[in-house]
Amino acid sequence: MNIKTIIVDDSEQDLTTLKLKFSSVKEPLYEVTSFNNPQDENIFKIPADLYVFDIDMPKVTGFELAKKINELSNTASVIFCSQHDDLVFESFRLNFNYFIRKSNLDQDFKYAIEKLNHQFINQHKYYLYNSTEVKRKIPLHQIISIEVSHNYCSFYLENSEVLTQRKSISAIEKELNFSYFVRIHSSYLINIQYIDSLKSNKAILKNGHILPISRSKLKLVNDAYNSFRIER
């Protein structure tokens, strides 16, 4: 498993240090492309799993780059790496995975890698979809939600595709073995990564779907979502 990684930092010295850090990770392998110009258009043209941004850069900040990445991808991970420790509080308003303090690089990098490795391993798990017409492996991180109706389950995918399979939702739940899925209702399984917000007894997903949460599942769903946000 190779993790395509992009690092953006206007300091050549810091770029070199970070590249050495990632090259020291033996498994999984982090394939690093680096940029010292935050305005380089290739930052967004090269597909990547992980982006590492310095924050305080001329003309374009790491926060601005992260906003752009969040608009382009639901699955890419973002790490901020800065010598300004106080910016960690401002970064909370953005969807990011970790904040590495350059003043505490060794310890913070080690912890960030542990979290990322767990996340990327989960992202490379698959569900074996098997219908009368087709068999295929669906990456679990691409499944937004699963809905059951009249003994058929519909899989709503990130690319807007909908697949239907004759199978019980309980059987599918057991097969998924993926920590980010939660049963919110007798008829619905959702991927926590695609929750935009929770309001009362409803889950609002990033694809615009609004799904009901049964009263008995409210605490479970809220706890799972809050844990996911802390982990991220």
pLDDT per position in the chain (232 positions), as tens?
Answer: 789 999 999 999 999 999 999 999 988 889 999 999 999 999 999 989 999 999 999 999 999 999 899 888 877 889 999 988 776 656 556 556 788 999 999 999 998 888 888 777 766 788 999 887 788 999 888 899 999 998 899 999 999 999 999 999 999 998 886 678 999 999 999 999 899 999 989 999 999 999 999 999 999 999 988 887 766 5
Tell me what pLDDT residue 4 has.
94
**The pLDDT value given to residue 89:** 57
Instruction: Look at residue 94 in the predicted model and tell me its pLDDT.
Output: 59
- How far apart CA 232 and CA 194 sit, in angstroms, is 13
pLDDT of residue 92: 57
Residue pair 61/55 in contact (Cβ under 8 Å)? The answer is yes
Buried b (16+ CB within 10 A) or exposed e, 64-89: ebbeebeeebbebbbbbbbeeeebee
What global pTM score does this model have? 0.61
Instruction: State the Cα–Cα distance between residues 47 and 171, nearest whole angstrom.
Output: 34
pLDDT at residue 168, rounded to an integer: 92
Question: What pLDDT does residue 90 have?
Answer: 62
Q: In 10 A of CB 30, how many CB atoms?
A: 23
Q: How far apart are CA 181 and CA 167, in angstroms?
A: 17
Contact residues for 127 (Cβ-Cβ < 8 A; gap 6+): 137, 138, 140, 143, 172, 175, 176
CB neighbour list of residue 224: distance below 8 Å, 6 or more residues apart:
182, 192
The token pair at 123 is 């992202």
- In the chain the beta strands, taken as DSSP E runs, fall at 2-8, 29-35, 50-53, 77-82, 98-101, 126-130, 135-139, 143-149, 152-157, 162-166, 181-185, 188-191, 195-199, 202-205, 210-212
Residue 94's CB: how many other CB atoms inside 10 A?
14
Integer distance in angstroms from the first to the last C-alpha of the chain?
A: 21
Taking CA atoms, 20 is separated from 7, 13, 98, 132, 134, in Å, by: 12, 11, 19, 50, 44
Strand pairing category for 2-8 and 50-53: parallel
* CA torsion, ordered 96, 98, 101, 106, to nearest 10 deg: -150
178-179-185 Cα angle (round to 5): 90
